[in-house]
Structure 1
Amino acid sequence: MFAPDRPVHFTRQSPSVHNGLKGLRLLCISAMAWAVSGCSLLQTESFNFQAELPENFTISATTYYDAASGESCPGHKVIKSDQPKGTQLIELKLPLTEKVKGCSRVLKSVVLNIEGQWGKRDLDIGLQRGALSIRDEPTETTRPFPASGPLVFLGQCQWFFRTMGPYRYIVKVLECRALDANGVVQKSLMGGSMLRDGLAGRTVKLVLTEAKEDQPYFGRSWLETPKGWKPCIETKETFRCQNPPTFTDFKMPDGRDCTVYPNCTE
Structure 2
Amino acid sequence: MRHRNVFNGLVRSLMIGFGALAATACSVTQQDSFTLVTEFPPGFKIRGEAQYVPRPGETCTVPVKKGWEHPGFKFFKQELSEKAQTAQFEVPLTSVEGGCPLVLDNFDYEIYAKYAAGPVDVGREYSGIQFENGVVDGVSLPSPITLQRQCEWLFRTAGSNRVIAKILKCSSVMSQGLSQNPVAESPLPRAQMAGKALKVSFSLSKEERPAVGDNWVRFPNGWKRCIGKSLEDAYAFCNGNTTDFKSFRMPDGRVCSIYPGCTE
Structure 1 length-normalised TM: 0.72
| Structure 2 equivalent of residue 57 of structure 1 | 44
Instruction: Note the 1:181-220 alignment, pairs <5 A.
Output: 181=175, 193-220=187-214
- How far, CA to CA, are the matches of 2:187 and 2:124 in structure 1? 22
Larger radius of gyration: 1
Partners of 1:163 and 1:171 within 8 A in 2: yes
Q: Measure the CA separation in 2 of the matches of 1:240 and 1:135.
A: 46
- 1:68-101 Cα deviation digits (max 9, x unpaired): 1132217223122489774510222211111111
* 1:77 has 2:69 as partner: no
Q: Distance in 2 between matches of 1:262 and 1:82?
A: 28
Structure 1 gaps, min length 5: 1-41, 184-190
Cα RMSD (Å): 2.8
Gaps (5+ residues) in structure 2? 1-26, 64-71, 178-184
> What is residue 252 of structure 1 aligned with on the other side?
250
Q: Which AA in structure 2 matches 1:71?
A: C
Q: 1:175 to 1:100 in 2, by over 3 A?
A: same
CA distance in 2, matches of 1:98, 1:53: 28
Secondary structure of the corresponding residue to residue 262 of structure 1? coil
Q: How far apart, in 1, do the equivalents of 2:95 and 2:79 lie?
A: 21
- Higher normalized contact order (CA 8 Å, seq sep 6+, divided by chain length): 2
Q: What TM-score do you get using the length of structure 2 for normalisation?
A: 0.72
Cα distance change of structure 1 residues 111 and 122 upon mapping to structure 2, 3 Å threshold: same
AA paired with 1:72?
T
Contact in 1 for aligned 2:149/2:202 (Cα 8 Å): yes
Overall identity of the aligned pairs, in %: 32
Q: Displacement, 1:220?
A: 1.1
Residues of 1 paired with 2:155 and 2:131: CA distance? 35
TM-superposed CA distance for 1:138, in Å, is 5.7
Does 2:161 correspond to 1:174?
no
> Following the alignment from structure 2 to structure 1, what is the Cα–Cα distance between the partners of residues 99 and 82?
36
Q: Which of 61, 66, 70 matches 2:53? A: 66
Q: Report the Cα offset of residue 114 of structure 1.
A: 1.2
In the other structure, the counterpart of 1:161 is: 155
Structure 2 residue 108 is matched with structure 1 residue 111: yes
